[in-house]
Amino acid sequence: MRALYINSGTASLRNLPRPRRPAGWARIQVLASGICNTDLELLRGYYGFRGVPGHEFVGRVLETDAGDDRWSGKRVTGEINLTCRGLGYIRLCDLCARGLASHCRRRKVLGIVNHPGAHAEEITLPVCNLHAVPARISDHAAVFAEPLAAACQVLKQVRFAPRDRVLVLGDGKLGLLLAQVLHRELRKTARTVLLAGHHREKLALARRWGVDTRLSGARLGRREWDVVIEATGSPTGLAEALERVRPRGTVVMKSTIHGMLQAATAPWIVDEITLVGSRCGPMDQALRLLARGVEVESLIEDVLPLARALQALRQAARRGSRKILLALDA
């Protein structure tokens, strides 16, 4: 099968053997996958990655265990963390036993850690990782389930108070999703949800959803915001977040960066800032939001076939680009 492959910072299109399906797993035809900033960081050396990247996908189940008809032919997306349960361990690790399966000691991660990803014709995943995609959600929209779930995770991690002022830094794909989700879910309680970014056309898109926006570099205020969500994708993003958040406020870190972050530690110690790392989130909630009309397809810049994956990577790496998809029927 054809697949995008990364090795030593170089990307190529390769013909690889079709993945072997263990018992209790599904073999899935990838209908579409999304290139995200993590894929680009893997190409730059994040995790010392070598293999097939890609963790945002929608697919169709081709094969499961004999006698298991629940998933045959179904459109699915999936949890990207392969944990004790899916990997077949009878004795759970301590973190899985405590309900922290996304941090499983034995964890593999689709397209990131020790499991081939979705920028390929086929993938395999444990059946317990699968989520059915409702018919009303298009293939292109379904690709956004995983990053939308990552946006929803902030709602689980932060206890927002009435009248909070919330600042989202970064108008990339994730920043736009975060701003839209927070605006929808907090508009009855939060005083302000503001998106700050560098790209006028992206900020205009957010304003169509009712989100307040401002160009980065404008007067955002120092030490004023109750919650600052850092989604800049920049090594300097944390430093800016610490400059904006009020004493005893909360900074949520969403960027995954290959390399060292550039920020002094004194501000969050002196101002007693709560710093929250935030990663994967609830896929079921993301699919419900997609079914209810959260707008994601306007974030798509281009859809290319897998055969043009190298061009897709170059487009995705351009400053200010929106989402680039690889699709079976492109």
Q: Which domains can be identified in the chain, with CATH numbers?
A: 2-144+296-327 (3.90.180.10), 148-277 (3.40.50.720)
* Bridge partners (DSSP) listed for residue 51: 6
Q: By three-state DSSP, how is residue 148 classified?
A: helix
Q: What are phi and psi of 43, to 5 degrees?
A: -65, -30
The three state secondary structure string of 186-202 is HCCCCCEEEEEECCHHH
- Residue 116 structure tokens: 């081939």
Query: Residue 259: what pLDDT?
Result: 65
Query: Residue 221: what pLDDT?
Result: 86
Indicate the helix (H) or strand (E) that contains 329. Answer: none
Q: What is the pLDDT along the chain (330 residues), one digit of tens a residue?
A: 999 999 988 999 999 999 999 999 999 999 999 999 889 989 988 778 899 999 999 999 999 998 888 899 999 999 999 999 999 999 999 999 999 999 999 999 999 999 999 999 999 999 999 999 999 999 999 999 999 999 999 999 999 988 899 999 999 999 999 999 999 989 877 788 999 999 899 999 999 999 999 998 778 888 999 999 999 988 888 889 999 999 999 999 998 776 666 777 887 889 999 999 998 999 999 999 999 989 999 999 999 999 999 999 999 999 888 999 999 876
CA dihedral of residues 44, 51, 178, 295 (deg, nearest 10): 120
